[in-house]
Structure 1
Amino acid sequence: MARPKTPILSKPAIRAAALAVIDRDGLEKLSMRKLAQELDVRAASLYSHYGNKDELLTEISEEVTADIDVSGFDQDWREGLARWSRSYREALTRHPNLLPVAAAGPGRREEALRRADAVHGGLVSAGWPPKQATMIGASAKYLIVGAATQSFARGFDDDVRVYRDRYPNLTQAHRLPEHASEIDDASFELALTAFLDGLEGLFAQVTSGENEGSGEA
């Protein structure tokens, strides 16, 4: 008799299956036991590839965020921030259920630390004081993660009766979900542009010596 086929496990296959569970059921539903069932193997088989779920999630996060672009700082700090912000948001919105992991601090994640180093270094090299470079990175991340966390437009009900009479300033609110992607993208661009424009003014002060009290990181 032919020997029964045993599924061949690999790290990429495990990551793909785990991400599929996260996308479908949510991050909190992923467990090594459930993942083993998805792959039709014993849970113990997974531990020869990943010591625990956190280790697996770290590699999934690294993979999902691999396309975040920090190359623009070789042109100027504004272009660098714009590229980083847009590509970071795009990476997070592709797998919203993974956001708590993918948007977490770099910790000891090598690729996340490399990107943080590139952003901070790019800003300092351009002339920003280290303390302000740190604050700019943090502020940009607040904007990016906030934009990726939920959709503003999809937060409204699509039933016109909800707004009629009682909310006269929201007479078109029922149409917002229909245009959610367009509204969310345009709103992020508006916020990002306003943020960068504001930094331009502050940078002029910094480079002219008007903000000498900025200090070190």
Structure 2
Amino acid sequence: MARRKVLPPAAAPRGEMAGPMAEPLHKALIVRTALDLLQSEGLDGISMRKIADLLGVKAAALYYHVKDKDELLAMLADRIGSETELPEEGLAWRESLRQWAVRFREALGRYRDSAAVMNATLVSGESRLTHAEFLFRTLSEAGFEDADVPWLAAMLKNYVLGFADEERRLAERARGDEASLSELETEQSDRFRALSPERYPHMIRLAAYTVSTDWDREFAFGLGVLLDGFEARLSGRR
């Protein structure tokens, strides 16, 4: 697992106190509170008013540090992304991208609705810009055409985001139904097997594989297929 990074708090004006411990209000505290709210209520539950209530301040006090909710979400996305450690230097391009994808998925998996937060915001913070630069540099130095580099980077990022979102959605559904993932898998398999064999023969035959929840294996498989495609494209240019 990637090591968790601790972000230094920004300086705060005197006199703005928050919460029972009277910690001065600053951006890092606001983001940390928003992260807690994300965990408890999900993306739809985040609002400036709720964050202000949790901090024990007026909502207007937040706007001294954060322009609006869009900026807050961008800061939240950057905070989540900061927990993805970059691979060490000197690795082959494919292994470097593989490690980055694995660590990005791990970071997303720590927070509820993290993929949705990422998708709702543009890359603007220091952490996300650093990771975009890493992807661009790795692909460029591997020999991919300049015009292809942004697309390839987006494909890799979107694969991880899509997978993490699906993983979270099914896991939350299992919790919501008070059923384990194993029970949900059995339920889905039985539903597929009850389909018409004349109309859906392959759905029935492959039911056990379709509903499998071996997340790590599935993620590694999809990532490998994606990187195989990258490698084939690169080999075709040589």
- Shift of the alpha carbon at 1:147? 0.6
- The residue aligned with 2:22 is 7
Distance 1:149 1:42, change over 3 A: same
Distance 1:134 1:69, change over 3 A: same
CA contact (8 A) 1:163 1:173 kept: no
1:189 aligned partner, one-letter code: A
Q: Specify the alignment match of 1:215 in structure 2.
A: none
User: Could you tell me whether the CA contact under 8 Å between 2:79 and 2:127 is conserved in 1?
Assistant: no
- What amino acid sits opposite 1:187 in the alignment? E
1:141 Cα deviation (Å)?
1.9
Identify the residue that residue 137 of structure 2 maps to in structure 1: 121
CA distance in 1, matches of 2:193, 2:227: 40
Shift of 1:15: 1.7
Secondary structure of 2:99's aligned partner:
helix
1:22 equivalenced with 2:50 (yes/no): no
CA distance in 2, matches of 1:69, 1:99: 17
More helix by share: 1
Partner of 2:111: 95
**Structure 1 contact 73–81 (Cα < 8 Å) conserved:** no
Is residue 2:209 matched to residue 1:194? no
- Please report how far the alpha carbon of residue 39 of structure 1 lies from its aligned counterpart in structure 2 after TM superposition: 2.1
Q: Tell whether 2:159 aligns with 1:143.
A: yes
Indicate the residue corresponding to 1:84 in structure 2: 100
How far has the Cα of 1:96 moved from its partner? 3.3
Q: How does 1:34-183 map to 2 (within 5 A)?
A: 34-72=50-88, 74-103=90-119, 106-151=122-167, 154=171, 156=184, 158-159=186-187, 162-163=190-191, 166-167=194-195, 168-169=204-205, 176=212, 180=213, 183=214
Q: What is the TM-score normalised by the length of structure 1?
A: 0.76
Q: Secondary structure at the match of 1:129?
A: coil
Percent identity of paired positions between Structure 1 and Structure 2: 27
Report deviation, 1:37: 1.6
- The residue identity in structure 1 corresponding to 2:54 is E
Change in Cα spacing, 1:29 to 1:119, as seen in structure 2 (3 Å) is same
4+ long deviations beyond 6 Å: none
> What's the TM-score once normalised by structure 2's chain length?
0.70
